[in-house]
Structure 1
Amino acid sequence: MNKKHIFVVGLMSGTSLDGVDLAYVKFQENNYSDFEILFAETIPYSKEWKQLLQNAIQFSEKQLEELDITYGQFLGKIVNNFISNYKIDQVDFIASHGHTILHQPAKGITLQVGNGAQIAKITQQKVVCDFRTQDVKLGGQGAPLVPIGDELLFSEYDYCINLGGFANISFKKEGQRIAYDICPVNIVLNAYVNKLGLDYDDAGKIAGSGSVNHQLLEKLNALPFYENLPPKSLGLEWVKKEVFPLIDTYEKDVSNILSTFVAHVAYQIGGIIKNSKAVLFTGGGVFNTFLIREIEKNANIKITLKSTLLINYKEALIFAFLGLLRVDNQINCLQSVTGARKNHSSGVIFTP
């Protein structure tokens, strides 16, 4: 490794299936909080990949094994193109989250596809991946993983919130880092906007044109998950079982569904961060202006947005950082966050 700086490519694919986020990050060796995202890009999924990843929850074990390999090959090629396009000449390793297909920590199950051996073979680089499995084996939720990055890279904020497929939060309480999934966001909003032939609700305009269905809003806010104490995490399976049937029972109009669900998200987030002066918001949901305004109202705060680079690529940055901690055999999974039996250094390392 370079003596002064460490150069990492971080890869992230979120539940909202926007695409694969890549971030090329420079860390100072003796002070990780001195970092810079040098290059970053999102490679959108083709229609075929999107359908494949959406439907993989129904795949057989053999089909999942095949998907793990082909998706790993796909990631390897994307990284090679990224390195070539940006003329990157130094990579110490690649850190890849993969794509979550199944997440049922209560049953001891979590599955992220994106075979590390394939990525290493195609890129001829060291690869760190599979960050969640060890935590689940240690009795943890295997999620969220980003809070160690919030702790060590963004400690000046009272709360760090990511608005992606799900909203998750991280904060310090009584000397311990607490983090959990708050509620679904884009995984639901995008599913209903897709019915209109759109990928997403641009700036929340469609949601802003709808009306809140108060009966549905009440039912959503009464879901038992919201009564659970952290550590707790959400997955697509829960949304399919608990959220979609509820929405489809009470409302048919897409603009009303979006408006109501935004009200639900704003209520859930606003109640946690009420009156706070230092909240870092990142993730694709930040560009939903209507959602941000509703959160501001519910939380009684003014949200100041950071650079687009950080908003879009914070998770890819932090997976690069998780990989760095793993390579150095330092703790990257916090017991206080996931509920595992102990703090630990998670991730599997592959060499070409």
Structure 2
Amino acid sequence: MAPAQDLYVGLMSGTSMDGIDGVLARIDAQGRPQRLAHASAPLPQMLRDELHALNSSGPDELHRAALAAVALAHCYADVVTRLLDVAGVRRHEVAALGAHGQTLRHQPGQGYTLQLNAPALLAELTGLGVVADFRSRDVAAGGQGAPLVPAFHARVFASDAPRAVLNLGGIANVTLLTPGSDMPAAGFDTGPANMLMDLWCQQHTGKPYDEDGQWAAQGQVQAGLLRTLIDNEPWFALPAPKSTGRDLFHAAWLAQRLQGIDARPEDVQATLRQLTVETVARALESQPQAVADMLVCGGGAYNKGLMQALAERLGCPVSATDSVGVPAQEVEALAFAWLGWAHLHQVPAGLPSVTGARGARVLGAHYPA
């Protein structure tokens, strides 16, 4: 039986690897979440460097990954402690903690996906029941295991008109919400979002990201480079369902496509921003129904230049989810609180209309407190 408590914690550290967000939510019997509190913390630089390194094969990586998982669990537990202190909530009042972990490999075509996590240790450190390993059941059922959040988006952001919900984390993924449809949601990854822009910004300015898109605004989109980036990557032409990550879009991917390109660094940054815009737009244009508006979450929602470019290219209203009461930076953490609720209540959150799996599946594995 599902517990009587209606308080859930969600944690998120995404493909951008810049930090950890934690959200405390109250979720009612119909699965409607109410955000109560938020806490966040940056990832320690040594751990962040190790997580980046572990995205590629290397020496003694099994041992290193295990140690990194332990360190990540301690960072997660610190955020949980801070979150509950801020909210004035005692641990026994929380039904469960949803913790996705850090994706290091995502290869659904080969039958596996790997998220670095230590959920048993996290349960010990926090005294909370932990729900983790959200992707693997869907992959076992023949699905992509991603995106994970469209079922949550359908509960929170549904509208009377067709709507898109765009998550701009390291990778961009879009959810399509169609009122009156038999499918609660459709969704898929569209390509890189902050991942390549952050990488290029770090290499050339030393800053972790391009704040407000100010650096990109100093450059000019290079049309030839943009065509090269899109046309020379077969993944962009694949039909949905599809998903991707650092397995494909990484420093070597970008370096290979920049060979022989004569462009200022800020022009490359402007072009990478437009790569996100154009691949999102083309993905939406491939769908049978146009959307009336778009809500945007993730760190990219605070990149003013990126948001303006999206609105200009899409020709529909584009706004951050803050406009409907959910801070953009907290949406995914709130989603994992909801996914923890869905697991305990045996609500299928893995949707065939999103992942291509053989059927809807209850996602996650539970580690009791």
TM bracket, shorter-chain basis: over 0.9
Instruction: Say if 1:116 and 1:350, in contact at 8 Å, map to a contact too.
Output: yes
Q: Which residue of 2 aligns with 1:76?
A: 77
SS of match in other structure, 1:295? helix
2:275, 2:64 → 1: CA distance? 36
In 2, the alpha carbon distance for the partners of 1:251 and 1:175 equals 50
State the secondary structure of the residue aligned to 1:340: coil
Q: Provide the residue aligned with 2:229 in structure 1.
A: 220
Aligned-partner SS, 1:236: coil
Asked if structure 1 preserves the Cα contact closer than 8 Å seen for 2:226 and 2:274, the reply is yes
In structure 1, the partner of 2:23 is 23
- In structure 2, the residue matched to 1:340 is 357
Closer, same or farther in 2 for the Cα pair 1:272/1:231, shift >3 Å? closer
Check if 1:263 corresponds to 2:274: yes
Instruction: Say if 1:21 and 1:43, in contact at 8 Å, map to a contact too.
Output: yes
Are positions 1:317 and 2:339 aligned together?
no
1:11 partnered with 2:26: no
Is 1:50 aligned to 2:44, yes or no?
no
Q: CA deviation at 1:138?
A: 1.8
The residue number in structure 2 matching 1:88 is: 89
| 3-state SS of paired residue (2:320) | coil
In the alignment, what sits opposite 1:179?
187
1:342: Cα distance to partner?
1.6
| Letter matched to residue 239 of structure 2 | L
Output aligned runs, 1:93-172, within 5 Å. 93-156=96-159, 158-172=163-177
Letter of the 2:182 counterpart: G
2:38 is matched with 40
> What residue in structure 2 maps to residue 301 of structure 1?
316
2:218 to 203, 209, 225: 209
**C-alpha distance after superposition, 1:32-56 (max 9, x if no partner):** 22x2211112211121121011111
Counterpart residue number, 1:229: 239
1:192 aligns with 2:200: yes
Question: With structure 2 as the length reference, what TM-score do the two structures score?
Answer: 0.89
Q: What's the CA shift for 1:76?
A: 2.1
CA distance in 2, matches of 1:310, 1:221: 31
Match of 2:344 among 327, 331, 334: 327
Deviation at 1:330, TM superposition (A): 1.5
Query: Structure 2, unaligned stretches of length 5 or more?
Result: none
Q: Once the two structures are superposed, what CA deviation does each residue of 1:193-214 show, in whole Å capped at 9, x if it has no partner?
A: 1121101111101101012222
Secondary structure of 1:325's partner? Answer: helix
Cα shift at 1:75: 1.6
Work out the CA distance in 2 between the residues paired with 1:234 and 1:80. Answer: 32
- Structure 1 residues 218, 68: CA separation in 2 closer, same or farther (over 3 Å shift)? same
Distance 1:272 1:338, change over 3 A: closer
Partners of 1:183 and 1:132 lie apart in 2 by 19
Aligned amino acid, residue 331 of structure 1: P
> How far apart, CA to CA, are the structure 1 residues paired with 2:343 and 2:365?
8
C-alpha displacement of 1:248: 4.8
Query: Alpha-carbon deviations, 1:37-86, whole Å to 9, x = none?
Result: 11112211121121011111235223223322332233223312332344
> Would the aligned equivalents of 2:24 and 2:83 in 1 still touch at CA under 8 Å?
no
Contact 1:32 1:153 in 2 (8 A): no
- 2:294·2:316 contact (CA, 8 Å) conserved in 1? no
Residue-pair matches, total? 349
Q: Name the structure 2 match of 1:63.
A: 64
Identity of aligned residues (%): 26
Structure 1 runs (4+) greater than 4 angstroms displaced = 272-275
Distance in 2 of aligned mates of 1:125 and 1:348:
14
The root-mean-square deviation of aligned C-alpha atoms, in Å, is: 2.0
Shift of 1:254: 2.0
Moved more, 69-78 or 226-235: 69-78
Q: Which residue identity is paired with 1:88?
A: V
Code of the aligned partner of 1:24:
L
Counterpart of 2:31 in 1: which secondary structure?
strand
> Contact 1:211/1:260 (CA < 8 Å) preserved in 2?
yes
Partner of 1:250: helix, strand, or coil?
coil
- In the alignment, structure 1 segments of 5+ residues that lack a partner are none
Deviations 1:120-163 (A, max 9, x none): 00111111011011221222111110011012222216111111
| TM-superposed deviation, 1:252 | 5.4
The one-letter code of the counterpart of 1:295 is L
Q: Which amino acid aligns with 2:291?
A: S
**Deviation per residue, 1:283-341 (Å, 9 max, x gap):** 11011111111111111123233328521111111111111010111101112211222
Residue type of the partner of 1:158? R
